[in-house]
A and B are shown apart, each in its own frame.
Chain A
Amino acid sequence: MSVNRREFLGAAAAACCLRAQEPAKTRLGLVRSSHNRLPRPVPPDHPLDADLVRDMVWKAIEYGSPAAGSLEAKIRPGSWVVVKPNIGGLRAAESWRPGDTTDFRVTRAVVEYLARKSGAKRITVAEGGTYRGLHDKAEDHVVTQNGRRVDANLFDWGSTDFPGFSGSLAGMLADFAARFPGKRFDYVDLSYDAVRDASGAFRKLPVPRSRNGVGAASNLSEYFVTNTIVNCDFLITVPVMKMHLQCGMTCCLKNYVGTGPREVYSVPGTFSNLKLHRDYSVGGRIDTFIADLAAFHPPDYCVIDGLRGLQEQEHSNHRDDQMIRSNLIVAGEDPVAADSLAATLIGHNPWDIDYLHHAARREMGTMDFRRIEVVGEEADRLRRPWEKPRNWFGRCNREWVTTLDLSAPAGAWKPHFSRVDALDLVEVAGASPKYAAAAVFRAEGGRKGYLWIGARGKVAVSLNGETVLREEAITKHRIGQYQVPVSLTAGENRVVFQVEPADGAATVSLLVTGPRNNGDTLEGLRWVPTRG
């Protein structure tokens, strides 16, 4: 085909316009302690000191510049800036070990950056964890040091757990106050900061709708939240990057669970957000309320402590090999992108992290790496397969078509988007002696993998027309209960379930894992939407 000059110029101009319309990539800074542009690069197994950590944090912030040009440019002069680390527990707890909480050297570096470079008027470190406040009359979860009652603010960490940082958070803030007299530095215990009405009673607030009209992800649409998170001008999430038993990983967005006021969400004898987990989980997942809590004030900026983290679970499993030192810092303004990168770094497939889908749906950010620019290190080279939680499984297929008439042509089957991992056919299609459901996915090339099938009922499952499982599933439904090795076709693959109810129940679920068969979705696999 020949193209004349006029056509070529026209096409080139159109391509330029198209390029101009593409959204700008979100930037993430990724810095390892060995990064050659640091003033003093050290190996990735170096214990670091406060200056090295500060250099890493600041370099990552420089690389992960927001659309405004720089972090300080994004903060309006006179702002109230809140820094939210993860201090879910204190060293006194049996479950604490290094890597469990955000490294105080990272928190300090962020606060110092804000103090030196931004026009922030008030800088608050805010957190709520499994420890009582000083004035709480309850007797459980009271922390003492040398016989003196302490909280996260007063807890004295000594000088060994975070080399280069010693003393308490309160001491650190007092030091900043002395050095930067024009600014206010304080600590807020979010556990006791619930929004109240005029009478003083706790007051729930509705989950704000996103610009694209997305509301609560959970079944309940109102939450108890804290004054600090709702009212501050600028919020920086500073989590530690680690595995999590329930949602796979905890990082920028999961850090919001610590913003749930425990004075409301705990039950007597405990000091966790038990009611939050109990009342706002959906389909056994906590991801819904993670996204909802973040919606009250999405992060304006993120700095991830990837120095040390815990594999296999979020708190100590008392194994010598649990803590992983990576000496990494990630920074950027897009929490979904930052968490997606963190997920990749610890060996997750970001598409398996359910709360990222909820947050992306709210346009809180992107998990599409084609729209993410990582500056500093090459992320692929730093990826390590951290041990995942036992019983881990990624986000299952949600895009289904169903029918009661198995002879109906595929195009006549009814699309259904499932909010949870399991598809309840009785709920979706009503009572019937037989059901069929299908899911379609694309695989990048002919791959080996495993179908992780959950089912309740007499079920026959086929992949691309070939029966791969027949099972009388009379026991309860469980994700990945039946694991079937399969060979996938490059391009589209179709899985069809035929189900007869057992004891009136007919449910199915489907995950496609890779050859490691570890609960991760096969790399590059994408479910084909059925919603039209």
Chain B
Amino acid sequence: MNATDQKPANESITAGATIDTTPRVGIVLSSFAGGEEHDGTHLPGLKEPCPADAELTSRHWAAMLAKAIELGSPRRRIVLPSMGGTSESLDWVLVVAAPRTDPDLVGALLDWLAERKAGKRITIAGIAGHPEIAGRAAARRPGVRVELLDLRTCERLKAPSPVRSYAARNVEGVYSLPRVFRACDRIFALAPLAVDSAMGVALSAASYLALAPPEEIRSSGTPDEVLTDIFAQHPADYAIAGGSWVYEAGGGRVRHNLVVAGARATAVDAVGASIMGFDPKNLDVLTRMERRGLGIHDPDEIWTRGNEIEQAALKVRKPEGWRE
């Protein structure tokens, strides 16, 4: 909440049966054997918990993803905003996977969508090297069009942003984005937990950077400016960060089986950053996203469910000279 929204302490309004605006984020390690809500309610764990550094099967990933989505979904909405209903079964779903996204996690998401009969057309961007994932999903869902999008060759629409843009050298927000970006109904953003030399972290929202040509990003502004501009055009309807590996500065990686999920990418990324040992409030990209109304980045205002941030935390190597 910013300064202009401060209310006098002596006045209040009783709540109605409206949607709870506190963002929820599910945190599930492969070892999650159960936990407790803040009020003490028991949360059942995974049926087959495994150590966080174990090699997992696709069955494990499916269970972890389903659990994280269940825990990270808003109150009064079972999963996504009525995902799986009649209308949603006719959606065009775009899955935007960041580079290095765990293919098992993408596969788990496609299985999850299939189980809920969600989507009439599913386009997967960012995993062009894994056609078998789309092939398996297509075979499982006759009547649903499943396709891989090659971001190097796809049809693009170069047009001004319909929402206000802030990138210093691209105030009209003219980006050449895949045509599907405007045409799709829902976007799932997926990414591994990764350190980024420019932004500190590159998590679910950062997957959007793969949508714009690199030279356009460079000529428009800083990566976090461009990221928030593109993200604001169509914020992810659901955000997932995690996978088998956490990528550190310097090119190293650490096995850490984890899924962080929620309907607000900013909150998911704030939690992801906290797990990696960053203070989300010191990350410009998350601050910028919150200022643009794209969600909350203060972990104290986010309701985490499943594992605690401290349980999932991992010490990762940060970029050389990182200011924290």
Where the two chains meet, the residues of A that have a C-beta atom closer than 8 Å to any C-beta of B are: 90-94, 97-98, 131, 139-146, 158, 268-271, 312, 316-320, 323, 387-388, 390, 392, 450, 474-476, 478, 480-483, 485, 515-519
The residues of A that contact B232 with a CB separation of less than 8 Å are 390
The residues of B that contact A139 with a CB separation of less than 8 Å are 14
A98 to B232, CA, bound (A): 24
* Interface flag for B320 (CB, 8 Å): no
* Contact B14–A142 (Cβ < 8 Å): yes
Chain A CB count within 10 A is highest, among B10, B121, B162, B185, for B162
* Interface flag for B40 (CB, 8 Å): no
Closest Cβ of chain A: how far from B100's Cβ, in Å? 29
Q: Which residue of chain A is the closest to B1 with respect to CB atoms?
A: A318
Q: Which residue of chain A is the closest to B157 with respect to CB atoms?
A: A483
Q: Mark B185-211, 1 if CB is under 8 A from A, else 0.
A: 100000000000000000000000000
Interface size class of B (residues with CB under 8 A): 35 or more
The residues of A that contact B158 with a CB separation of less than 8 Å are 485
Within the complex, which residue of B16, B120, B159, B291 is in contact with A319, where a contact is CB–CB below 8 Å? B291
Q: Which residue of chain B is the closest to A139 with respect to CB atoms?
A: B14
The residues of A that contact B310 with a CB separation of less than 8 Å are none
* Interface flag for B237 (CB, 8 Å): no
Closest Cβ of chain A: how far from B269's Cβ, in Å? 18
* Interface flag for B169 (CB, 8 Å): no
- Given the known inter-chain contacts A474-B121, A475-B90, A483-B182, please indicate yes or no for A517 contacting B159, CB distance below 8 A: yes
Within the complex, which residue of B16, B163, B185 is in contact with A478, where a contact is CB–CB below 8 Å? B185
* Contact B13–A141 (Cβ < 8 Å): yes
- Given the known inter-chain contacts A92-B7, A269-B17, please indicate yes or no for A485 contacting B91, CB distance below 8 A: no
17 A–B pairs (Cβ distance < 8 Å), ordered by A: A92-B11, A97-B5, A140-B17, A141-B14, A141-B16, A144-B11, A269-B17, A319-B292, A323-B4, A390-B163, A390-B232, A474-B120, A476-B91, A482-B183, A483-B157, A483-B159, A516-B160
The residues of B that contact A478 with a CB separation of less than 8 Å are 185
- Beyond A97-B4, A270-B17, A320-B2, 5 extra complex contacts between A and B, CB < 8 Å: A92-B12, A475-B90, A482-B179, A482-B182, A483-B159
Q: Which residue of chain B is the closest to A150 with respect to CB atoms?
A: B11
A450 to B182, CA, bound (A): 13
* Contact B12–A144 (Cβ < 8 Å): yes
A142 to B160, CA, bound (A): 44
- Given the known inter-chain contacts A140-B14, A143-B13, A144-B12, please indicate yes or no for A518 contacting B160, CB distance below 8 A: yes
* Contact A318–B185 (Cβ < 8 Å): no
A78 to B245, CA, bound (A): 79
Closest Cβ of chain A: how far from B75's Cβ, in Å? 14
The residues of B that contact A158 with a CB separation of less than 8 Å are 8
Q: Which residue of chain A is the closest to B296 with respect to CB atoms?
A: A318
Closest Cβ of chain A: how far from B299's Cβ, in Å? 18
The residues of A that contact B17 with a CB separation of less than 8 Å are 140, 268-270
A283 to B11, CA, bound (A): 39
A269 to B121, CA, bound (A): 37
